[in-house]
Structure 1
Amino acid sequence: MTMTIQDVSQRSGLSGPTLRYYEEVGLIGPISRDEQSGHRRYGEQDLDALQALACLRAMGVGIEDMRTYQANRALGRAAAGEQRDLLQRHAVRVQEEIETLAVHLDYLRAKAALWDARDRQDAAAEAAAQRGVDAVVPKLWASIR
């Protein structure tokens, strides 16, 4: 069964231009073409590869690491260690991003509590909220440097 670029775009979540770009830079393909129209015709293997690339893209993996991932995927077990290391490296990056975002969330909540206390004209709650802001600011500065 072959699929059009629209079919694959819908099933992979990648836009038509992204699919063409991925073929152009060698992440997939070459994609077969309909003999009469010249339009791309994707197979199940192409879709599998594109779905994996869509997941990597969603996690912020760059083109070069995607290229390495695809090459390792083709090698199978022979490249399992390198594949593991590539994925673990990105897992560490994502974990660091999560930790940074948690600090940002703490700051936003602390500031919202401060402004809520001010809105309610609750001096005790405002003082407590200010202490919360003061406690998170050093972490915030460390996270944005």
Structure 2
Amino acid sequence: MTTMTIQDASRRSGLSEPTMRYYEDIGLIGPIAREASSRHRRYCDQDLDTLQMLACLRAMGVGIEDMRVYQANRALGAAAAGEQRDLLTRHAQRVETEIRTLGVHLDYLRVKAQLWDARDRGNSADEMNAKQQIEDMIPSLQAVIR
């Protein structure tokens, strides 16, 4: 069985070494095997698979408790398929909401940039047009702020 150091596992998973140690401490991974003489952690391929999965969940904004549930359900396999689906669907809906919110913010930033560009060029017609677009965006902005 191939094993790797914490540095190698960190580089390959995208998680920092302190995060990996924390995930082991709270039981999300491991226990991780240790070298007999030095007690340094040695990660196997299965550990790396788990770390990469946790890195993906973390990058998507999944919290520790849902990571725990996900891990427990992975071990249960098909018996927990419905719960896994529901957990992932809930997070997908949250991400979709964040994307919509970011889209509104992006549109606002672009129109504000157009406003300032028009001012920089001294083009009052373009400036008035940008002001009107911003005014039209207010309801969308207020909706995503709430």
TM-based fold match above 0.5? yes
Secondary structure of 1:41 counterpart? strand
Partner Cα separation in structure 2 for residue 71 and residue 48 of structure 1: 15
Ranges of 4+ aligned residues in structure 1 off by more than 6 Å: none
Question: Offset at 1:111?
Answer: 0.8
- Equivalent position of 1:113 in the other structure: 114
- Equivalent position of 2:10 in the other structure: 9
RMSD of aligned residue pairs (Cα, Å): 0.8
- Equivalent position of 1:37 in the other structure: 38
Residue 65 (str. 1) matches residue 82 (str. 2): no
Q: Residue by residue, what CA displacement relative to the aligned partner does 1:44-95 show, whole Å, maximum 9, x if unpaired? A: 1110011000000000000000011111111111111111110000000000
Partner Cα separation in structure 2 for residue 90 and residue 121 of structure 1: 46
The count of corresponding residues between Structure 1 and Structure 2 is: 145
Secondary structure of 1:42 counterpart? strand
- Equivalent position of 1:25 in the other structure: 26
Partner Cα separation in structure 2 for residue 130 and residue 109 of structure 1: 12
Partner Cα separation in structure 2 for residue 115 and residue 57 of structure 1: 37
Q: Which runs of 5+ in 2 are unaligned?
A: none
Q: Which runs of 5+ in 1 are unaligned?
A: none
Contact 1:107 1:136 in 2 (8 A): yes
- Equivalent position of 2:144 in the other structure: 143
